[in-house]
């Protein structure tokens, strides 16, 4: 039986200060998203599952954006005012690390969204078992690209990491495809003397954390390069192409996990499911579809093709028909939504209620068994149980300054092409005639009609 990992004496340092020029965006690289979650968010999730005693993050480019995205992490942010490389980031954070007095520092790049907790724990376990001073993860690739190359000695021990711009086969030997994943375990007491030895005498004019390997080897420290095979989840994201490739890999993992857990996903290659989405075994999805954010779909529910859902909850037995769009909505048991329905934030559809084609709800409640079947807008509204809303009905909730509520009682019937000018209340069991503009409350069990008398007038012949 596996034992829980001991995070005692462990600090984690996330490097998230870089601009990421190859992303061609002013947004900090670590805030670019995969399945609606930022790269940095994934790294935090992996670290939180360890967890370390201390978690610090070096930020720089777009620091205010990072702070605003993760306000709960602000006490652990360290500002790198000039982005002079990963080695400089470690130097910038060193004082605050020393204040926490950890034995070991786990250094992770903020642009490694696919990194798993298991991989991080495996690195630290190997580091501890070997009583190493420095250990890092490596990946073997057919094309090393822009990643730092791992140079090994004849006895397979590590000699150095050479950045791609500085690699010279004459000096360093032929490439073997082994690259540095940028994830390190460092013994504080052993690494401190090396920090001041880092140099920016290289093609980029930056201080590289990778130079600690050669410096450590030269001074007889115990340095370990831990092979991660061809595990692409260890790699960082440096370009739009790498971002979407990583996102698709993550999407495949999530879809396969749900399939193996008893969820039916038709056209799975076209299903996009976020990492926080909860799908109960026995529910069914049809691609193409997209479910992101804080979503849940109960057993027995069905999501049709071309449906987009974010931060919404779908109850047992409910059917979301094609081309519907739900955001921050709640759909209870045995409901039918769509096709072409739009549920905006704070839309609530209670048991057995129906929302039909081209119906839009926003901050509105359809109570049990109520129906809005066609071409209707319900904003800031409450519709009683069993009420029926005719085609073309709108709640006029905005007077140009303020929003107002419309309340429709149980079993009321609203005729087609009716405008309900809020604030207004339609009583229980009331009937509103088609084509009416209602500006005053309607009493229960009454008929309300507001339209001019129909007239027939002569029409001039041509």
> Quick one: which H or E segment has residue 250?
helix 240-260
**29 labelled ligand-binding:** yes
In the block, tokens 């779908």 appear at 314
Provide the token pair at 336. 């039918």
**80 labelled ligand-binding:** yes
Provide the token pair at 117. 């907790």
Q: Three-state SS for 431?
A: strand
> Rounded to 5 degrees, what angle do the CA atoms 230, 232, 235 make?
120
**256 labelled ligand-binding:** no
Q: Name the nearest CA neighbour of 225 among 148, 144, 134, 164.
A: 134
**238 labelled ligand-binding:** yes
CB atoms within 10 A of CB 268: 18
Query: Measured between alpha carbons, how far is residue 378 from residues 62, 320, 375, 427 in Å?
Result: 40, 18, 10, 17
**111 labelled ligand-binding:** yes
**181 labelled ligand-binding:** no
Query: Measured between alpha carbons, how far is residue 111 from residues 32, 123, 165, 441 in Å?
Result: 9, 18, 20, 58
**85 labelled ligand-binding:** yes
**Strand partners of residue 271:** 289
Q: Name the nearest CA neighbour of 438 among 415, 455, 456.
A: 415
**163 labelled ligand-binding:** yes
Contact 295, 306 (CB under 8 A): no
**Is 367 among the catalytic positions?**
no
**416 labelled ligand-binding:** yes
**294 labelled ligand-binding:** no
**219 labelled ligand-binding:** no
**Strand partners of residue 363:** none
Catalytic residue, chosen from 172, 367, 374, 404, is 374
**17 labelled ligand-binding:** yes
CB atoms within 10 A of CB 118: 12
Contacts of 353 (CB under 8 A, 6+ apart): 332, 335, 366, 367, 368, 369, 370, 371
**333 labelled ligand-binding:** no
Instruction: HSE, CB side, 13 Å, CA atoms: give it for residue 262.
Output: 9
**16 labelled ligand-binding:** yes
Provide the token pair at 194. 């090396």
**18 labelled ligand-binding:** yes
**344 labelled ligand-binding:** yes
**171 labelled ligand-binding:** no
**415 labelled ligand-binding:** no
Please state the residue numbers annotated as binding site.
15-18, 29, 80, 85-86, 111, 148, 163, 180, 238, 344, 362, 377, 388, 391, 397-398, 416, 434, 451
**Annotated binding site for Mg(2+): which residue ranges?**
111, 238
Return binding residues for acetyl-CoA: 391, 397-398, 416, 434, 451
Enumerate the active-site residues: 374
Residue numbers in the known binding site for UDP-N-acetyl-alpha-D-glucosamine are 15-18, 29, 80, 85-86, 148, 163, 180, 238, 344, 362, 377, 388
């Amino acid at each position: 039986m596996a034992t829980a990992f001991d995070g005692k004496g462990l600090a984690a340092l996330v490097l998230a200060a870089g601009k990421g020029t190859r992303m061609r965006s002013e947004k900090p690289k670590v805030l670019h998203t995969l399945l609606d979650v930022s790269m940095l968010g994934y790294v935090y999730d992996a670290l939180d599952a360890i967890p370390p005693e201390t978690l610090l993050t070096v930020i720089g480019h777009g620091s205010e954006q990072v702070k605003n995205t993760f306000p709960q992490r602000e006490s652990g942010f360290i500002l790198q005012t000039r982005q002079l490389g990963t080695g400089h980031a470690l130097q910038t954070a060193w004082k605050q690390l020393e204040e926490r007095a950890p034995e070991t520092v786990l250094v992770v790049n903020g642009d490694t969204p696919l990194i798993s907790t298991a991989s991080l724990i495996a690195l630290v376990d190997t580091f501890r078992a070997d009583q190493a001073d420095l250990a890092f993860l490596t990946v073997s690739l057919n094309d090393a690209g822009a990643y730092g190359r791992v140079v090994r000695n004849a006895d397979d021990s590590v000699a150095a990491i050479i950045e791609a711009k500085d690699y010279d086969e004459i000096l360093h030997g032929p490439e073997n495809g082994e690259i540095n994943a940028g994830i390190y375990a460092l013994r504080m007491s052993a690494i401190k003397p090396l920090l001041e030895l880092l140099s920016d005498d290289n093609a980029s004019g930056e201080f590289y954390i990778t130079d600690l390997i050669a410096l450590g080897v030269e001074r007889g420290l115990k340095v370990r390069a831990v092979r991660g095979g061809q595990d692409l989840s260890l790699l960082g994201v440096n370009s739009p192409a790498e971002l979407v490739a990583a996102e698709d890999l993550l999407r495949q993992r999530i879809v396969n996990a749900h399939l193996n857990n008893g969820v039916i996903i038709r056209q799975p290659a076209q299903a996009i499911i976020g990492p926080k989405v909860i799908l109960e075994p026995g529910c069914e999805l049809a691609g193409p579809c997209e479910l992101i954010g804080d979503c849940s779909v109960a057993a027995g529910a069905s999501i049709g093709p071309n449906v987009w859902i974010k931060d919404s909850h779908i109850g047992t037995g409910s059917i979301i028909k094609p081309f519907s769009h739900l955001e921050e909505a709640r759909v209870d048991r045995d409901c039918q939504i769509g096709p072409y329905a739009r549920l905006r934030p704070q839309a609530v559809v209670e048991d057995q209620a129906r929302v039909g084609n081209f119906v839009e709800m926003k901050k509105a409640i359809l109570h049990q068994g109520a129906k809005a079947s066609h071409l209707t807008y319900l904003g800031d509204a409450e519709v009683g149980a069993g009420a029926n809303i005719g085609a073309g009905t709108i709640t006029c909730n905005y007077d140009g300054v303020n929003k107002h509520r419309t309340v429709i009682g149980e079993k009321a019937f609203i005729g087609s092409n009716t405008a309900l000018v809020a604030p207004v209340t339609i009583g229980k069991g009331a009937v509103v005639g088609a084509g009416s503009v209602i500006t005053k409350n309607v009493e229960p069990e009454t008929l309300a009609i507001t339209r001019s008398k129909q007239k027939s007038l002569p029409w001039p012949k041509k």
